[in-house]
Structures are given as structure tokens and as C-alpha cells.
Structure 1
Amino acid sequence: MIVVLAIDALEYDLVEAFGCDNLKQKFYGKTDISEFSEPRTMVLWNSFMTGENREKEVLEFGDKEMWNIKLDIEDTFFARFENPKILDLPGFNYDKEQHELERRMLKEFFAADSDEEKAEIRKKYNSHAFEHHRRIKKEFADALSGDYDFVLGYFSAADVIGHLNFGNRALMKMIYRDMDEIAAGIDDTLIVLSDHGMERIGMFGDHSGHGFWSTGFKDLGNPRITDFAGIIMEISEVEQ
């Protein structure tokens, strides 16, 4: 089985700072996303799945409608596996209602007039994000024990929580340590991959200009996110 731990906004510098050795594996580094003028979540994961830059096609949908994109499996490299399992990946089978609720709560937070109101919204926002994280974590654990030849689990907590709380180092450390524990429990061939990282802007976080990758089998250098379709299929051919 090949496993991809797809972690939205996993930041290279925090993986280092928090000593997340299981996320780092033997080889790790930054992905090159400089080819994208707007390195957004939906743009990057669509490009990952297809192995080609789909920025133009995705952005043409607009900010709201792009979240309705659901690629057919035949348009992705997933189709080359006999029995793949994909969990909650943007552009494929992402929980749109989850995303819409997050965006709505963010708007409410920045529109709130008082610190007390902002604090209450932040509390609900974080609680909802962690509830979703726990659900995906359970589904991912179940998938790892299933009869699949490829499993991809997409985890959004580092991004969702980070946008509103990136300056809260203790909270971010808790998320990264939890993801590190998830990685520690994977015995199969593992690729850890993020679409982009995150940089601090006051208390908040915004997308950085690089992603994160790691493997236990090969130094990939400074790969593009579009390279991973080919990399994964090469591994699949070796393991067959």
C-alpha cells in the first residue's frame, strides 16, 4: 500500500521547530509552487491529482464556484490503482458544507465589533475544525487497515486553525504533534505532502510560497506539486 498524508498548510519551519520527526521521515524539504500566481488550496490539489498545472481552469470558476469542482477519478492518477481510497480531498470528494461553514464563521469573526464576540466565534470555529479533524482521523485509521493499494487522507486542521490562530504557538504545536503521531502509526510506504505552508501575520496566518514534502525512500530535492503523480506511479510500479 502507498499512503499519502496530505496536510493542508503544513509549514516546513514549524515541522522543524516542533521536532516532528515522523512527519520529516528520512528525506524532507520544500515543494516549489512558484509556477502558480495564486497558490490556493483548490488550485494546488487539482494540479496534484492531474499532474499538470490547472490554475487557469480552476480560477475561471471564481472564488465560490471553484469549491464545487469534483474531478472524475479517470481524470486523476488515482484511476491507475486497482482499489484506491481518497478521503476528503478538495477537488475530488471534499466536504463542501464543512468549507462553507468555515468561511462563514471567518467572515463573522472579522465582522464582529467586540473582542468578546470575536473570542466566542473563535472558540466555536476552532471546536468545529477539531471535530472535523477527529472524524477524518478515524476514517483514515480505518482506511489504513482496509484492502486498498492506495490511501490518501486529507487533513485541513493546520490550515483552518492556522488562518485564525497561527500566532498561538501552543495551539499550532498541538496540531503538528497530533499529525506527527498519525504519521508514526503508518507502516506502509508514506509520502507526506502539503499544498502550501503558512506564515504568521500578527495573530493570523496566510499561505506561504512553498509546500512541504517527505519520504522514507528517496531525496526528491525541490519538487513541484505536479511531479507527485509521476513519483507515486513510479513507486507503485516498483512495489507491484
Structure 2
Amino acid sequence: MPVVFAIDALEYEKVEEFDCDNLKQVTYGKTDISEFDQPRTMVLWSSFMTGENKEEEILAKGDKEMWNTKFSLEETFFSNFENPEIIDLPGYSYDREQHERERELLKEFFEEAENEEDKKEIRKEYNQHGLEHHRKIKEKFLQTLKKDHDFVLGYFSAADVIGHLNFGNRTLMEMIYDDLDEIAEKIGEIRDDHLLILSDHGMEGVGMFGDHNGYGYWSFDDECELERPELTDFADFLVNL
């Protein structure tokens, strides 16, 4: 009965830098996302859950419409489980209003702010918005793990959301990674199941800001044969555990 701790933009180098032992587990490393020309969040998680490269299909919808993507249970590998619970995953059960507000605030920051004071206030609201959502999902995820589900996936966006405007803020990013590491520890305390920790992509610094890079992160609680896996490899891997 596997658990997936899905973390948007979890960066391999930051996991190492902040010594996040619970995020590392027995086997860990970088994923290969080179098959994707544009490592977009909706593209990557859609490909993960269906086990197929969905880049062309998702990008054809355009930047705005792609966020309306919603796959049915039958279109995903989740259908192989009797009682799965999928929390806040883009393309399946994502809180679209949350994402839209994040995009609005980013637009205000980069395109509409008239001075540094405006940017400071927008960044403050943006960070608070992202962290409040993180706390809500954390509580729901940990409570769900205590219930009778044969597959649980919880998606956490804070490393990506906060990273976009604050990747150069080491103190803030370390706080995010420490909390994610603590969640990984709590998962093991609640359930004695296999745990896959997975990101869609990582993040690289662009001054104070952060942008998507060309690989993701994965870790597993046991030895396995996967080496630099692709996102589409995990569907069969999880079903066959």
C-alpha cells in the first residue's frame, strides 16, 4: 500500500545542502525529464499519473486553459487501487483558485508593481498565501494517512511557490525544506508502507528568484532497480509494489 509524497520543485541540491535525511530515504537521486521540451507543472504531473508523455496534449490547451485539465480516475494508474485518495494534485484534484491567485500575485509583482515597496508588500502576501495553503494540505494529508486507503498521494507546492520569488533567501528556503523533511518523518510514524517521494522538476537560482530546471527528484524507502527514472516509469513501479 504505497504512499506518494509529491513535492513540486523539490531541488536535489537543496536536499543535500540542508541535509534532509528523511527526504533522502534508502535510495534517492535525480529523475530524467529530458523527454519534455517544457518542464511545466501540469505537463509533468499529468504524465506521471497517466504513465504517458502528455506534453503535446497539455501544451496545446494554452497557458490558461491547461489548468482546467482534469483526468478521470480511469485515465490514471490510481484506478489500480481499490480506495485511493489523491490530495491537491494538478490535473486531478488541484485547488484551481489557489493557483489562480498565485499567478495574479506573480503578475502584480513582475508587471504592475511601481516600486520596491510595492514589491515588498506583494511578496509578503504571496508568501503568506502559499504557506497557508501548505499548512492546510499538510494537516489534511497527515489525517488522511490515518484512514483506510490503499494508496495515498499528497501534493505540496510550497517549494515551488515560495521558491519562485525567494529562492535566493536561504533562511526561508531552509525553513520550507525542514518542514518537508519533518512531514516525511511523520509519514513513517503513521504508516508502515512503502514511501515514494517525488518532484516534477527541480529549481535553479536566477538572482533572488527561482526557475524550473532540467531534472526532478525522487527517493524510495527501499533498494530498487530504478536508476535515473523518468516520470512515466513510476506508474508501473507503484502498481507492482
TM-score by length of 1: 0.97
Give the counterpart of 1:199 among 204, 208, 213: 204
Distance (Å, rounded) in 2 between the aligned partners of 1:222 and 1:11 = 15
- CA shift for structure 1 position 36: 0.2
Partner of 1:177: 178
Matches within 5 A, 1:33-112: 33-110=33-110, 111-112=112-113
Query: Which residue identity lines up with residue 200 of structure 2 in the other structure?
Result: D
Kindly report structure 1 stretches of 4+ aligned residues shifted beyond 2 Å. Answer: none
Q: Which segments of 5 or more consecutive residues in structure 1 lack a partner in the other structure?
A: 236-240
Distance (Å, rounded) in 2 between the aligned partners of 1:21 and 1:7 = 16
Does 2:238 align with 1:232? yes
Partner of 2:162: 161
Alignment: residue pair count: 235
- CA shift for structure 1 position 218: 2.4
Deviations 1:165-223 (A, max 9, x none): 00001100000000000000112210000000000000000001000000011242100
Q: Which segments of 5 or more consecutive residues in structure 2 lack a partner in the other structure?
A: none
Partner of 1:151: 152
3-state SS of 2:114 partner: coil
Partner of 1:135: 136
Deviations 1:89-142 (A, max 9, x none): 000010000000000000001120111110000000000100000000000011
Distance (Å, rounded) in 1 between the aligned partners of 2:175 and 2:223 = 28
Partner of 1:238: none
Distance (Å, rounded) in 2 between the aligned partners of 1:229 and 1:217 = 17
Query: What is the root-mean-square deviation of aligned Cα atoms in Å?
Result: 0.6
Provide the identity percentage.
Answer: 66
Partner of 1:223: 229
TM-score by length of 2: 0.96
Deviations 1:29-51 (A, max 9, x none): 00000000011000000000000
